[in-house]
Amino acid sequence: MDFMWNNADITFTLIATIIVLLVMLYAMSMMSRQLRLLQYQVSVIETDLKLIEEQLKLVSNREKIDLSQIKPIETD
């Protein structure tokens, strides 16, 4: 009778271990998926920042006043 309970205990432990490992693998795959999604979002934000920087440079260069075109004020 002890042999049967011992065998059942080993079987239960083995099944529980397999289930725990499968749950851990699933959790790791979900974390990996979320990490890839975050990396993609960060790359999109970096691209947007580069575009904004280029646009700011264009706007700042366009609005500069050319000092050679300014005429001095004449006083009489």
Domain residue spans in the chain?
A: 29-56
Dihedral, CA of residue 35, residue 36, residue 38 and residue 39, to nearest 10? 120
Of the pLDDT bands very low, low, confident and very high (cuts 50, 70, 90), residue 76 is low
Sign of the torsion formed by the C-alpha atoms of 47, 50, 52 and 54: negative
Task: Provide the 8-state DSSP code for 63.
Answer: T
Length of the chain: 76
| First-to-last C-alpha distance (Å) of the chain | 123
Decide if pLDDT at 30 tops 80: yes
**pLDDT of 42-52, one tens digit each?**
999 999 999 99
Distance, in Å, from the CA atom of 8 to the CA atom of 20, rounded to the nearest integer, reads 18
* Encoded tokens for 6: 């011992």
